[in-house]
């Protein structure tokens, strides 16, 4: 009966090794030596590969900030491009550790999908873009229009809600890949392209022959708070992601930039001393190096620097800070106290 004994042993070994995942993400990331972030397949300003294949954007900076906090090196990241439909499965299955991928935070995603939203790095709203030659001035005139939209997004749901609420009909043309859906819109298959207003600006600035041929309608039909998302089950990992983003905003509030961070380290302001790890404590509480925030600011920059570099006036996208200005400047960016 040797075979039976072997079979029983194998069965027992299998049963015992059923893994417990809680708390494992942070350990796995540390052991691996780099952070795996889910990013978009290419939205200029948020996450987009440049001509040399290097990814840039505020979502990429968000990912780099996490790596800087955890490893002291912002380069220790692996960026995984995901479509709107793939992203949640990629996060649920553990293919990526965190989504830094212009993802709207909603109750459904926070609960039923098993995620936690770790702060907001861009306040957005859904808009409509139409060719200028259609002569449309307002979204209220869009009754009967054909609308290009990506599937699996809040955009798709808001679109249906908006037309329902205004008793208008529409025909959706639903294509998964951003490149394909944009191509369908530019070819004239759709009258309207809808997505987050920032993305519309990005597409209009970087994908059109002549940006002036297209107008973005004034209505914003939804709130789209975009930010990093992690899966349930590892609160410590959630903390690291959450406070990495807060540190970028706090740095801007404190006036610390990648240029002046070494000088600021000599400051006598206790807030700054605590923030930069001159006074120890914060890093230990978070379970990372005391220099975590210093590393983020030094290697990635503060939130304002990241915004200007990727989306601001010096870029083709030319976005205003608007709601994404600091709260002291009339915006919504408000860092929780680091103490």
Partner 1 sequence: MATGTGNLGPPQRSAASRLNWNDPSFRAILYQIIVLGLVALTVWYLVSNLQANLKSRNIATGFGFLGLEAGFGISESLVEYSPASTYGRAVFVGILNTLRVAVIGIILATILGTIIGVLRLSKNWLISKVCSAYVETLRNLPLLLQLFFWYAIITETLPSARQALNPLPGIFLSQRGINFPVPAFGIAFDLILIGVALGLIGAVAFRIWAQKRQDRTGQQSPVLLVAAGLILGMPLLGWLLGGAPTEMSVPELRGFNFRGGASLSPEFAALLIGLIAYTAAFIAEIVRSGILAVTHGQTEAALALGLTRGQTLRLVVLPQALRVIVPPMTSQYLNITKNSSLAVAIGYPDVVSIANTAINQTGQAIEGIALIMAVYLSISLGISLFMNWYNKHIALVER
Select from 7-15, 119-127, 274-282, 314-322 the region that touches partner 1 (CB under 8 A).
Answer: 7-15
Residue 148 CB, nearest distance to partner 1 (Å)? 9
CA angle 293-297-298, nearest 5°? 110
Select from 14-22, 48-56, 95-103, 300-308 the region that touches partner 1 (CB under 8 A).
Answer: 14-22
Report if residue 196 touches partner 1, rule: CB under 8 A.
no
Report if residue 232 touches partner 1, rule: CB under 8 A.
yes
Report d(CA 34, CA 316) in Å as an integer.
Answer: 31
Report if residue 135 touches partner 1, rule: CB under 8 A.
no
Report if residue 142 touches partner 1, rule: CB under 8 A.
yes
Report d(CA 122, CA 198) in Å as an integer.
Answer: 9
Report if residue 184 touches partner 1, rule: CB under 8 A.
yes
331, burial (CB in 10 Å: exposed 0-12, middle 13-18, buried 19+) = middle
Select from 48-56, 86-94, 255-263, 306-314 the region that touches partner 1 (CB under 8 A).
Answer: 86-94
Buried b (16+ CB within 10 A) or exposed e, 132-141: eeeebeebee
Residue 326, token pair as written in the block: 């600091």
Residue 292, token pair as written in the block: 């975590």
> For residues 67 and 76, is the Cβ–Cβ distance under 8 A?
yes
By residue count, the chain amounts to: 339
Q: For partner 1, which residue of 34, 73, 76, 109 counts as binding (CB under 8 A)? A: 109
- Using DSSP's 3-state secondary structure scheme, residue 141 falls into helix
How many positions of this chain bind partner 1 (CB under 8 A)?
56
List contacts with partner 1 (CB under 8 A).
Answer: 3-4, 7, 10-11, 14-15, 18-22, 84-85, 88-89, 92, 108-109, 111-114, 142-146, 151-153, 156-157, 159-161, 163-164, 170-177, 180-181, 184, 187-189, 191, 231-233
């Amino acid at each position: 009966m040797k075979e039976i004994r072997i079979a029983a042993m194998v069965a027992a070994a299998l049963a015992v090794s059923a893994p417990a995942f809680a708390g494992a993400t942070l350990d796995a990331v540390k052991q691996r030596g780099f952070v795996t972030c889910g990013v978009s397949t290419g939205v200029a300003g948020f996450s987009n590969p440049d001509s040399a294949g290097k990814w840039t954007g505020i979502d990429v900076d968000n990912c780099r900030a996490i790596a800087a906090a955890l490893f002291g090196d912002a380069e220790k990241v692996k960026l995984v491009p995901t479509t709107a439909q793939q992203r949640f499965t990629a996060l649920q299955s553990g293919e990526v550790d965190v989504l830094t991928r212009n993802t709207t935070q909603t109750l459904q995603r926070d609960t039923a999908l098993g995620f936690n939203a770790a702060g907001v790095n861009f306040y957005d709203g859904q808009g409509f873009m139409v060719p200028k030659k259609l002569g449309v001035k307002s979204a209220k005139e869009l009754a009967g229009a054909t609308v290009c939209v990506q599937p699996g997004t809040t955009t798709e749901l808001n679109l249906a809600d908006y037309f329902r609420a205004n008793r208008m009909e529409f025909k959706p043309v639903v294509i998964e890949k951003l490149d394909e859906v944009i191509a369908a819109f530019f070819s004239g298959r759709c009258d309207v392209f809808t997505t987050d207003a920032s993305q519309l600006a990005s597409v209009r600035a970087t994908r059109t022959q002549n940006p002036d041929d297209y107008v973005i309608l004034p209505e914003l039909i939804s709130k789209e708070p975009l930010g990093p998302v992690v899966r349930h089950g590892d609160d410590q990992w959630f903390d690291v992601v959450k406070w990495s983003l807060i540190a970028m905003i706090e740095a801007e509030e404190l006036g610390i930039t990648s240029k002046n961070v070494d000088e600021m380290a000599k400051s006598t302001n206790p807030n700054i001393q605590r923030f930069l790890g001159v006074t120890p404590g914060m890093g230990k509480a978070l379970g990372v190096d005391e220099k975590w925030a210093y590393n983020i600011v030094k290697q990635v920059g503060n939130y304002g620097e990241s915004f200007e570099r990727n989306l601001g006036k010096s870029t083709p996208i030319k976005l205003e800070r608007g709601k994404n200005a600091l709260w002291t400047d009339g915006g919504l960016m408000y860092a929780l106290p680091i103490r």
